[in-house]
Amino acid sequence: MLASLAVTTFGRSARAEQSFALAWHGKGQKPPTCLTDVALRDAVEQRLGRRPFVEPARADILIEGEETPAGRGLYRARVVQRDHGGAALGARELEPQSCESLLRGAALVVALIIDPTGHQTSEPEPVAEPPNEEPPAEAPVAPPPPPTTRRRHRPRSKQQSVSPSFQLSLGAGAGAAFGFLPSPAVTLSAVARLVPAHSRLSFDWRGEYALPQTLHDRGVRGTFAMLGQELRACFAYVRWTSGQLDACGGFLWSAVIPDTSGVGLGNDSWRVVAGPLGGLGLELRRGRAASRLDLGLALPFRKYDFSYVDTENVRKRFYGTDGVLFFVILTGLGTLR
């Protein structure tokens, strides 16, 4: 019944050569609590055996879904089909049901919008029964094509189900760090980011290097650089179609690298600066590319004072690391499938 109603509502406006975009949100454009764009997109791609979706700016048809809580863990939904100009071409209401059932129903409705003829497996069979004299002619025409098509696409959808289990993104960035070196330092970084499918969690590793800074005190010179890495876990507490806002926590391990000359007694060994860190991250996506802005702070277990003994055997101070370290980093990312 669901398939036949959806075909009646949407079938006239969808064409195979048209491109489609998908958006799913809660009531009043709020983030959904039952389904997500990613989960629904995966379910539709499995049904169709291909990837029909493009970015909204390039789509001929926008399929927009809105879910509304109906109480007792149930949700109702409304799926609207719009043209590129925003005019509504049709709508479909889904009755209150569990999230699992809503995902199956919404995936079927969206698949029928994109390919209204490929899923009509129940309509042709009754028409084929009256002409009893020609059973051989009817059998290959109506029933066989849909099952054959599904069997051909199943191996492909199994391969696709492996790749969306997680997304790996690699990137590079630049930023500023405060409290590590004598003055605010310019940093360069490399990033690897892992995002499990259908999850608000993400995990990333960042390696960074702060450009050296040099201090002079009469005949004494001290050059200081920083090399470090971060391991973090993030939770996307706000998400929308093209981005998200993360809250992150993790651990920082870094080392200040001194290099001195002109001193009577010095120690140029690396000084380890380590401790917990936290921060916020804003990510904006376009296709497989993304840009990300991270703000954070770290609380090192130990502070260091860098001093030296001059040629007159007097101890003098260069500078000291801070008890609270701040950083801001802008990163460009590319997703690997």
pLDDT tens per residue across span 20-62: 888 888 887 677 888 888 888 888 888 888 888 888 888 888 8
Q: Tell me: pLDDT of 129 over 50.
A: no
Does 249 reside within a domain? yes
Domain shared by 109 and 230, yes or no: no
Domain shared by 174 and 106, yes or no: no
Domain shared by 241 and 105, yes or no: no
**Of the candidates 99, 114, 129, which is a domain's last residue?**
114
Does 275 reside within a domain? yes
Per-residue confidence (pLDDT) for residue 263, from 0 to 100:
67
Instruction: Place 321 in a pLDDT band, splitting at 50, 70 and 90.
Output: very high
Domain shared by 187 and 319, yes or no: yes
Interval 224-271: pLDDT, tens: 999 999 999 999 999 998 899 999 999 999 999 998 887 655 677 899
Domain count, the chain: 2
Domain shared by 189 and 100, yes or no: no
Per-residue confidence (pLDDT) for residue 334, from 0 to 100:
94
Does 207 reside within a domain? yes
**Of the candidates 114, 145, 179, which is a domain's last residue?**
114
Strands 74-83 and 88-97: antiparallel
Per-residue confidence (pLDDT) for residue 327, from 0 to 100:
95
Instruction: Place 220 in a pLDDT band, splitting at 50, 70 and 90.
Output: confident
Domain shared by 59 and 180, yes or no: no
Residues 6+ apart with CB under 8 A from 231: 203, 204, 205, 250, 251
Does 131 reside within a domain? no
Does 293 reside within a domain? yes
Does 135 reside within a domain? no
Name the amino acid, one letter, at 233: A
Mean pLDDT of 141-152: 52
**Of the candidates 86, 114, 142, which is a domain's last residue?**
114
Does 263 reside within a domain? yes
Strands (E), the chain: 20-26, 61-71, 74-83, 88-97, 166-178, 185-196, 201-217, 220-240, 243-261, 271-286, 289-298, 305-309, 315-320, 325-336
Domain shared by 179 and 67, yes or no: no
Q: What is the pTM (predicted TM-score) of this model? A: 0.53
Q: Tell me: pLDDT of 143 over 60.
A: no
Does 225 reside within a domain? yes
* Closest by CA position to 15, among listed 116, 96, 123, 87: 116
Domain shared by 201 and 274, yes or no: yes
Domain shared by 190 and 91, yes or no: no
Domain shared by 35 and 173, yes or no: no
Contact 312, 159 (CB under 8 A): no
Tokens for 121, please give them: 């497996």
What DSSP designation does 256 have? E
Interval 96-108: pLDDT, tens: 889 888 889 888 8
CATH of the domain at 290: 2.40.160.20
* Closest by CA position to 304, among listed 284, 326, 322: 322
Rounded to the nearest 10 degrees, the angle between the axes of helix 2-10 and helix 99-114 is 40
Mean pLDDT of 61-81: 87
Domain shared by 76 and 214, yes or no: no
Instruction: Place 90 in a pLDDT band, splitting at 50, 70 and 90.
Output: confident
Domain shared by 90 and 173, yes or no: no
**Inter-CA distances, 329 with 106, 237, 292, Å:** 39, 20, 8
Range of the domain at 289: 166-336
CATH of the domain at 102: 3.40.50.10070
Mean pLDDT of 139-165: 52
CA 122 from chain centre, in angstroms, equals: 38
